[in-house]
Amino acid sequence: MSLGRRAAAEAVGTAFLLAAVVGSGIMGERLSGGSVAMALLANSSATGAALVALILTLGAAMNPLVTISDAFRQAIAWRDVPLLVAAQIGGAFVGVAAANAMFELPVVSFSQHVRAGSGQLLSEIIATFGLLLVVARAREPAFAVGGYIAAAYWFTASTSFANPAVTVARSMTDTFAGIRPADVGGFVAAQIVGASAAIAFGAWIGGKR
Amino acid sequence: MSLGRRAAAEAVGTAFLLAAVVGSGIMGERLSGGSVAMALLANSSATGAALVALILTLGAAMNPLVTISDAFRQAIAWRDVPLLVAAQIGGAFVGVAAANAMFELPVVSFSQHVRAGSGQLLSEIIATFGLLLVVARAREPAFAVGGYIAAAYWFTASTSFANPAVTVARSMTDTFAGIRPADVGGFVAAQIVGASAAIAFGAWIGGKR
Amino acid sequence: MSLGRRAAAEAVGTAFLLAAVVGSGIMGERLSGGSVAMALLANSSATGAALVALILTLGAAMNPLVTISDAFRQAIAWRDVPLLVAAQIGGAFVGVAAANAMFELPVVSFSQHVRAGSGQLLSEIIATFGLLLVVARAREPAFAVGGYIAAAYWFTASTSFANPAVTVARSMTDTFAGIRPADVGGFVAAQIVGASAAIAFGAWIGGKR
Amino acid sequence: MSLGRRAAAEAVGTAFLLAAVVGSGIMGERLSGGSVAMALLANSSATGAALVALILTLGAAMNPLVTISDAFRQAIAWRDVPLLVAAQIGGAFVGVAAANAMFELPVVSFSQHVRAGSGQLLSEIIATFGLLLVVARAREPAFAVGGYIAAAYWFTASTSFANPAVTVARSMTDTFAGIRPADVGGFVAAQIVGASAAIAFGAWIGGKR
């Protein structure tokens, strides 16, 4: 595919990913009558299922750290990275706005959801390390990534953002899946640490199985 | 397969799809003791799992907009469209009647479930755009479509009908999955908008991955 | 594989299938604090997931009507049917006894769970028709059967037994998944009706996709 | 892959497996407001989904009994077993510590969760017998193992540990997924019985389908 089409796939895929994350969080919270576990189950299973569909359909990375890791592994050219990442970030914002609009909320509202502390940052390091390893090595990546994220919502204390584009965009919705803008920096820093470790480990242990 | 057999597959598949959507909605609502989230989780996971099974078994489109999109992509002949769509609509009504009968309800009862407003219509545009993109491009379409719909139940405000045959037929059951007949027109119009955008976008970005 | 090994696979597979159905019903009911929807969700998802694993592992039919349908389609020899069906029924009883024992209940106790009425019988006809169609035609049968049964627990009023060996054996446990011995005959008769229709329809529409 | 890389895959895979088991148990219990069924559903679905991702990514056994069974089947060399098992056990402890740390609990705390009695031991025999059969014979082992474990959480009374490395490590967390150190010996003995039966049965019925 041409670079333009690949960027379009990244934009559309990341928009649907964020719509899935934010929208299912809103629906889950509205319908669950205060049961946070039920809301998170809706959120995690919808996100995992959407990832399966989106990766099978678009083959997109939908994650700047994955795109950068792909460039390190020479799976894509470094010169393509800026446009692909811009498409991911732009798509992410559109997806959050679309979710807010579908549920008749203000299109943009800054989140007040505090996500901070050492447990949260350790969670993001571990979550991103695992995700990048899955992306770099897994057979059947759609099912591997969907399964990994559906699980990591539950097994990390941060619910596993593991994606800077997702993190920034989720600061723009004051709903279940939101993150306070002030906490975005820490999350992204932790994600970069985890991704760096995964790229180094992956280079040693080797690529696709 | 002959056209007659393909039409039979559409009719049987769409009947089972509607039985799954409506039947699991009834069972979910009856057993969940007022927890709408639990009822929707039953409804969404049963529908997604049924779609995986039905597409693997029958390879049917079970959706007039998918059939029309297939004709635009020259995957099927335009002259086959009317019979296939008629089979889908006929099958859809049979499936709703079967679900009502299995649960010992009147075979047909018009829904009083209001589904209207800008958020609902935007949801149907987005849901149908996504579904048609998935159908046109996905590898492993059974898993992609099943995953997409299981997710879209939660991430759209309308629970993602995304299918005119399904929409019309769901007006004939006054249960969890129903839609008031007066709201069918708006849903179908929104679905046509989303499908048109998907067909145009798909023609530009290209077909099967 | 030799007939003896195939019969062993049927016995072991059906034993694990019944252990999964009955055991997850017991665990679901015990832990769900009266939420029948939660108990059924545990029951349906555990059964569907177990079917995926068992079919991928053993390739067994685990269902007398499937074995008979296989013989009609000349996928197996008629002379092998009696032993395979006996292995299924024997395995089914062992599986129920194992589930009862794991949960420290009497190894055998007749169920008092009433399952009768026209809606239940119609449900079994439809459930078995669908299951046999899935088995005869589906690509990736493990995922198709697992998905179908996980869905049919919810979309039929009977929770979809669709299997005479399963039905008879489930009369031997007075727990969530049980069926009163007096109701077994009606269920099996309905299953035979559904299976007969599926065999006839499948012969017309054709075999594996 | 070299033995060192295979051991690293075992260590990383088993660490993530334990993080998934323990972490999702903590999150599930915290969010479920006392509903044990909801906590177990989070725990079982996260573990199953993580196993799909980890096996697709690393192809690791993550279980000493699986590694020993692989050696019996001559799929690996006996001389490689000690290092691989050591990597699994080491990884398992790291994973539990990581889960505790992510949720800001003491890195190690001995479990007080009693798991004893004949039903528990019978459950571990059956669970391990089934798991080793799945590993030895299944096509698509990632999906087969993930599906099997997600189901066996519910259909065995012990929630299916079926893995000595997992069992020992789970004694180091006083949370939902923990096991009292005094109960570890019985569980491991039962697992060895089940595994021995599976190795013998598998040798008779034959290997990969």
The 10s digit of each residue's pLDDT in D158-202 is: 999 999 999 999 999 999 999 999 999 999 999 999 999 999 999
Helix (H) or strand (E) holding B68: helix B64-72
**Measured torsion, CA atoms of residues A63, A67, A73, A74, in degrees rounded to the nearest 10:** 160
Which residues does B contribute to its contact with C (CB < 8 Å)?
1, 5, 8-9, 12, 16, 19-24, 27-28, 31-33, 35, 38-39, 41-43, 45-47, 49-50, 52-53, 56-59, 98-99, 101-104, 142-143, 146
Quote the percentage of chain B above a pLDDT of 90: 98
User: Residue C8: its chain D contacts at CB < 8 A?
Assistant: 205
Reply yes or no on whether the pLDDT at D39 is more than 80: yes
User: Residue B99: its chain C contacts at CB < 8 A?
Assistant: 155
Quote the percentage of chain C above a pLDDT of 90: 98
Alpha carbon distance D91, B70 (integer Å): 50
Query: Per the CB < 8 Å rule, is A50 touching B118?
Result: no
pLDDT of residue B35: 96
In tens, the pLDDT along A149-168 reads 999 999 999 999 999 999 99
pLDDT of residue C207: 72
User: Residue C40: its chain B contacts at CB < 8 A?
Assistant: 27, 31, 42
| Residue B106, Cβ density class (10 Å: 0-12 exposed, 13-18 middle, ≥19 buried) | exposed
Q: Per-residue pLDDT averaged across A21-33, rounded?
A: 98
Count Cβ atoms below 10 Å from residue A104 Cβ, excluding itself: 12
Of B24, B98, B143, which has the smallest distance from its Cβ to C154's Cβ? B24
Show the CA angle centred on residue C12, arms to residues C9 and C14, nearest 5°: 100
A contact chains, 3+ CB pairs < 8 A: B, D
Beta carbons of C80 and C88 less than 8 angstroms apart:
no
Confidence grade of residue A120 (pLDDT, cut at 50, 70, 90)? very high
Reply yes or no on whether the pLDDT at C1 is more than 90: no
The single-letter code of the amino acid at C60 is A
Reply yes or no on whether the pLDDT at C206 is more than 90: no
Q: Per-residue pLDDT averaged across B117-145, rounded?
A: 97
pLDDT of residue D86: 98
Segments forming the whole domain that contains residue C166: 3-205
User: Residue D153: its chain C contacts at CB < 8 A?
Assistant: 46
Q: Per-residue pLDDT averaged across C24-37, rounded?
A: 97
Reply yes or no on whether the pLDDT at D47 is more than 80: yes
Q: Per-residue pLDDT averaged across C102-118, rounded?
A: 97
Nearest Cα of chain C lies from the Cα of D57 at a distance, in angstroms, of 19
User: Residue C21: its chain D contacts at CB < 8 A?
Assistant: 155
Asked if ipTM goes beyond 0.85, one says yes
**Which of the residues D18, D26, D43, D57 would you substitute to probe the A interface, choosing the one with the greatest number of A C-beta atoms within 10 Å?**
D57
The single-letter code of the amino acid at B133 is L
Q: Per-residue pLDDT averaged across C30-58, rounded?
A: 98
Query: Per the CB < 8 Å rule, is D154 touching C9?
Result: no
pLDDT of residue D208: 74
DSSP chain D: --HHHHHHHHHHHHHHHHHHHHHHHHHHHHHTTT-HHHHHHHHHHHHHHHHHHHHHHH----SHHHHHHHHHTTSS-GGGHHHHHHHHHHHHHHHHHHHHHHTTS-S---------SHHHHHHHHHHHHHHHHHHHH-SSHHHHHHHHHHHHHHHSTT-----HHHHHHHTT--STT---HHHHHHHHHHHHHHHHHHHHHHHHH-S--
> What is chain D's length?
209
D contact chains, 3+ CB pairs < 8 A: A, C
Count Cβ atoms below 10 Å from residue A106 Cβ, excluding itself: 11
Distance of CA B151 to the CA centre of its chain: 13
User: Residue C36: its chain B contacts at CB < 8 A?
Assistant: 31, 33
Reply yes or no on whether the pLDDT at C138 is more than 80: yes
Reply yes or no on whether the pLDDT at B206 is more than 90: no
Nearest Cα of chain B lies from the Cα of A85 at a distance, in angstroms, of 19
Count how many pairs of residues, chain A against chain D, have C-beta atoms within 8 Å: 130
User: Residue D42: its chain C contacts at CB < 8 A?
Assistant: none
Average pLDDT of chain C to the nearest whole number: 97
Q: Per-residue pLDDT averaged across C31-44, rounded?
A: 97
What are the angstrom distances between the C-alpha of D22 and each of B65, B165, D25, D47, D184?
A: 45, 45, 5, 9, 16
Query: Per the CB < 8 Å rule, is C33 touching D38?
Result: no
In tens, the pLDDT along B189-203 reads 999 999 999 999 999
Alpha carbon distance B185, B182 (integer Å): 7
pLDDT of residue A208: 74
Pick from A55, C31, B53: nearest CA to D40 = C31
Compute the radius of gyration of chain D from its Cα atoms: 16
User: Residue B46: its chain C contacts at CB < 8 A?
Assistant: 44, 150-151, 153-155
Pick from A148, C24, A146: nearest CA to D17 = A148
pLDDT of residue C92: 98
Pick from B89, B104, B102, B105: nearest CA to B173 = B105
> What is chain C's length?
209
Of D33, D47, D49, which has the smallest distance from its Cβ to A35's Cβ? D33
**Which of the residues B139, B153, B154 would you substitute to probe the A interface, choosing the one with the greatest number of A C-beta atoms within 10 Å?**
B154
DSSP C78: G
Helix (H) or strand (E) holding C67: helix C64-72
Query: Per the CB < 8 Å rule, is C209 touching B31?
Result: no
Phi, psi of D59 (to 5 degrees): 60, 25
User: Residue A98: its chain B contacts at CB < 8 A?
Assistant: 122, 126
Q: Per-residue pLDDT averaged across C153-177, rounded?
A: 98
Which residues does A contribute to its contact with B (CB < 8 Å)?
1, 5, 8-9, 12, 16, 19-24, 27-28, 31-33, 35, 38-39, 41-43, 45-47, 49-50, 52-53, 56-59, 98-99, 101-104, 142-143, 146
Alpha carbon distance D70, D57 (integer Å): 19
Query: Per the CB < 8 Å rule, is C102 touching D123?
Result: yes
DSSP C79: G
Confidence grade of residue D1 (pLDDT, cut at 50, 70, 90)? confident
Reply yes or no on whether the pLDDT at D207 is more than 80: no
Compute the radius of gyration of chain B from its Cα atoms: 16
Alpha carbon distance D101, D26 (integer Å): 11
User: Looking at chain C, which residue has its C-alpha nearest residue B4?
Assistant: C205
Q: Per-residue pLDDT averaged across C16-43, rounded?
A: 98
User: Residue B19: its chain C contacts at CB < 8 A?
Assistant: 126, 155
Orientation of helix D81-102 relative to helix D3-31, angle to 10°: 30
B contact chains, 3+ CB pairs < 8 A: A, C
- Residue D197 token pair: 């039966």
- Residue C12 token pair: 């072991």
In tens, the pLDDT along A45-55 reads 999 999 999 99
Domain count, chain C: 1
Quote the percentage of chain B above a pLDDT of 70: 100
Show the CA angle centred on residue B125, arms to residues B120 and B129, nearest 5°: 145
In tens, the pLDDT along B17-42 reads 999 999 999 999 999 999 999 999 99
User: Residue D137: its chain C contacts at CB < 8 A?
Assistant: 57-58
Beta carbons of C39 and D37 less than 8 angstroms apart:
yes
User: Looking at chain B, which residue has its C-alpha nearest residue C145?
Assistant: B53
User: Residue B117: its chain A contacts at CB < 8 A?
Assistant: 104
What are the angstrom distances between the C-alpha of B2 and each of C163, C178, C205?
A: 32, 44, 9
Reply yes or no on whether the pLDDT at B207 is more than 80: no
Distance of CA B75 to the CA centre of its chain: 20
**Which of the residues B36, B56, B107, B145 would you substitute to probe the C interface, choosing the one with the greatest number of C C-beta atoms within 10 Å?**
B56
Q: Per-residue pLDDT averaged across C38-50, rounded?
A: 98
Reply yes or no on whether the pLDDT at B56 is more than 80: yes
Quote the percentage of chain A above a pLDDT of 70: 100
Alpha carbon distance C47, B193 (integer Å): 40
CATH number for the domain harbouring residue C181: 1.20.1080.10
pLDDT of residue A207: 73
Average pLDDT of chain D to the nearest whole number: 97
Of C44, C48, C157, which has the smallest distance from its Cβ to B102's Cβ? C157
**Which of the residues C47, C154, C156, C159 would you substitute to probe the B interface, choosing the one with the greatest number of B C-beta atoms within 10 Å?**
C154
Pick from D172, D10, D191: nearest CA to D89 = D10
User: Looking at chain B, which residue has its C-alpha nearest residue C135?
Assistant: B57
Count Cβ atoms below 10 Å from residue A81 Cβ, excluding itself: 15
In tens, the pLDDT along D67-117 reads 999 999 999 999 999 999 999 999 999 999 999 999 999 999 999 999 999
- Residue B153 token pair: 């139940």
3-state SS, residue B178: coil
What are the angstrom distances between the C-alpha of A13 and each of A19, A53, B125, B136?
A: 10, 10, 16, 15
User: Residue C57: its chain D contacts at CB < 8 A?
Assistant: 133-134, 137-138, 144, 209
Q: Which residue has the higher pLDDT, D206 or C196?
A: C196
pLDDT of residue B208: 74
Question: Among A148-152, B101-105, B204-208, D118-122, whose mean pLDDT is lowest?
Answer: B204-208
Nearest Cα of chain B lies from the Cα of C208 at a distance, in angstroms, of 8
Reply yes or no on whether the pLDDT at A209 is more than 80: no
Alpha carbon distance A10, A57 (integer Å): 11
Count how many pairs of residues, chain C against chain D, have C-beta atoms within 8 Å: 130
Reply yes or no on whether the pLDDT at C208 is more than 80: no
Alpha carbon distance A123, A129 (integer Å): 10
In tens, the pLDDT along D105-133 reads 999 999 999 999 999 999 999 999 999 99
Query: Per the CB < 8 Å rule, is A40 touching D52?
Result: no
